[in-house]
Structure 1
Amino acid sequence: MREQIGLTLRDVEIASTALSDVRGIEEFIINPSRLSDIETKGVVPSIYRLYVLSVIYRTDFSELLKLYGVDLSSTAADFTVCRPAKTHRVEIMADRGSVTVPVKFDPGFDLRQSTNLGRMIENWGVVPLQYLQELARKKYTYAYIGTEDLTMYPLVLPGSFIQVDEERSRVEEGKWRSEYERPIYFVETREGYLCCWCSIRKGEIVLQSHPLSSVQPRILKHPQEAEVIGQVVGVAMRLADWHYPSQPPQQATPELIEGEPKEVRRR
């Protein structure tokens, strides 16, 4: 790679030293003997030197990581090795690499009818992820429902991913014909995040769990103790291979009357 762009070991040392001076990071310096060991003896460079090489060689940092078995495009798939118990925001957004997306659909496809997506798509194409990112609506936040967060069970299962519209942070009040009509909100409290129904009254917010959940509703001061991030507008949820965690018997959750609990736990 170095020889392809006509650089010598000395050239790399000079360039890395210059970058070190600019950034004030001594670890950026790559002397000729160290670079030779990296190229010929399989020595793994530090993250500092790998970054410097990506700059000098005009190569994407993620591509150099692949040379050492680290593929950043696998980040989302690798999330499965760890399933956090608490609900939290999902901050990682891949902006490099490419993805295969549908580019031509069956002209007979009718949105009003259920269909097999695989048969609906006629042609696939490759699109850089950075282009897709530009199309993303900035008002959305994405979050993960913790494996032990049963607040909205069974409507929203633990382990689900949710899409939150931050422009819909005002809690709607009203009478709902079913639980599917009532807006669900993503809320940040001092203890962490949760996904729940909400109602506001006299400077307080009621964080209402699903009536079939073992989680008790709560009342907190609003907005001092609880902030509504936005309304949940999308859910990605697995319906199989999930089991309700074993736990001691719980008291029955209060029934809802016109969207309000009979009793709630204050803190």
Structure 2
Amino acid sequence: MREVETASARIAGKYGNDEFAISPSRLSDIETKGLVPSIYRLYSLAVIYRRDLREILSWYDIDLNAVTADMKLNLPPKSHPSQVVQGASVVQMPIRLDPAFDPRRTNNLGRMVEQWGLVPLAYLAQFASDKYTYGYVGSEDFTMYPILPPGTFLQVDESRNKILQGMWRSEYERPIYFVETRDGYTCCWCTLKGDHIILQPHPLSPVPVRVLRHPQDAEVIGQVIGIAVSLGEWRAAESLPDSKPDSKGRAALN
């Protein structure tokens, strides 16, 4: 205890603040009586015992990696820059992808990740959530273009895997679903008709409507609730895939 007192006194002397000092009696109270130390003494303990301050805070159920998630509890009304990432600790994120991953096709991000590793970017901790699936719109998938252009990352809520029916005031209100078919994944509007599911692309998309058996040939993974898209990129109409809408499929919607 005397060593802690001496070491903390040096820290207090350096910063000219006696709050950094830890007396033997105070250290005893911290260890035996559950006394919560001040932020200054927490810093001294971290320095003296060579422990990460985040680890010491975790002893008191303070997890700095939860800051970004807890920010959702108090959303500011106006846009503003965020500096929280700079103080983030390590979190899990993909460090190796499946070699069979084809960036031209829409994929389930969780399945294309072969190995997760620790990386100091707290915002990516959301990828580890069991509640959500993360998808990627392939570079050749124009199903929901121009709303969801190729290269878009998707956040999918798996609990919302029931297709909602109704009248929507605009295309932006209509739910978009992440769907797994025998040919792979796709992202589109969906309509159920009997034992078939209609996979409807955006009206401006060159991709045809598809009508598949449900759930044998198409399974709704969940509803898209968030996207990350790069703005400012576009392709001329003549450079889009040469595909004509399926008139029979379009008629099935009417």
Q: What is the TM-score with the length of structure 2 in the denominator?
A: 0.53
Aligned counterpart, 1:44: none
Separation of aligned partners in 1, 2:197 and 2:246: 18
Cα distance in 2 between the residues matched to 1:137 and 1:169: 17
Aligned residue identity for 2:105: K
Report the equivalent of 2:251: 263
- SS where residue 228 of structure 1 aligns? strand
Please list every run of 5 or more consecutive structure 2 residues that lacks an aligned counterpart in the other structure.
Answer: 1-91
Does the aligned pair in 2 maintain the 1:87–1:194 contact within 8 Å?
A: yes
In structure 2, do the counterparts of structure 1 residues 98 and 188 end up closer, same or farther at CA, with 3 Å as the change threshold? Answer: closer
Q: CA deviation at 1:99?
A: 1.5
Question: What is the RMSD of the two structures over their aligned residues, measured on CA atoms?
Answer: 3.3
Q: CA deviation at 1:239?
A: 1.1
Using the TM superposition, give the Cα deviation of residue 153 of structure 1 relative to its aligned residue in structure 2, in angstroms: 0.2
| 3-state secondary structure, aligned to 1:164 | strand
Structure 2 match to 1:99: 120
The alignment partner of 1:138 has SS state of: coil
Give the secondary-structure state (helix, strand or coil) at the position aligned to 2:140: coil
Q: CA deviation at 1:97?
A: 2.9
Counting only pairs closer than 5 Å after superposition, residues 128-167 of structure 1 correspond to structure 2 as 132=125, 136-167=128-159
Preserved CA contact (<8 Å) 1:86 1:147: yes
Q: Which residue of 1 aligns with 2:204?
A: 212
Gaps of 5+ in 1: 1-71, 103-128, 255-260
Alignment coverage as a number of residue pairs: 156
2:131 and 2:203 mapped to 1: Cα distance?
Answer: 30
Does the CA-based 8 Å contact 1:165-1:233 persist in structure 2? yes
Percent of aligned pairs with the same residue?
47
Partner residue, 1:187: 179
**Which AA in structure 1 matches 2:157?**
D
Residues 1:95 and 1:175: Cα distance change in structure 2 (over 3 Å): same
Measure, in 2, the Cα distance between the counterparts of 1:74 and 1:232: 21
Once residues 171 and 227 of structure 1 are traced to their aligned partners in structure 2, the CA distance between those partners, rounded to angstroms, is 11
AA aligned to 1:97 is: L
What secondary structure, in the 3-state scheme, does the structure 2 residue paired with 1:263 have?
helix
| Equivalent residues of 2:197, 2:218 under 8 A apart | yes
- Residues 212 and 253 in structure 1, CA contact (< 8 A), matched pair in contact too: no
Is the 1:213–1:253 Cα contact (8 Å) retained in structure 2? no
Q: C-alpha separation between the residues in 2 aligned to 1:94 and 1:248?
A: 33
Pair 262,237 (structure 1): closer, same or farther in 2 beyond 3 Å: same
Take 1:139 and 1:215, find their aligned partners in 2: how far apart are those partners?
A: 30
Distance between the aligned counterparts of 2:119 and 2:250, measured in 1? 52
Compute the displacement of 1:180 (Å).
Answer: 0.5
Per-residue Cα deviation, 1:41-84 (whole angstroms, up to 9, x for no partner): xxxxxxxxxxxxxxxxxxxxxxxxxxxxxxx97848x99xx971
Counterpart of 2:108 in structure 1: which amino acid? R
- Residue 264 of structure 1 deviates from its aligned partner by 4.6
| CA distance, structure 1, for counterparts of residue 142 and residue 242 of structure 2 | 14
Normalized per residue, the structure richer in helix is: 2
Equivalent residue for 1:246, pick from 239, 243, 247? 239
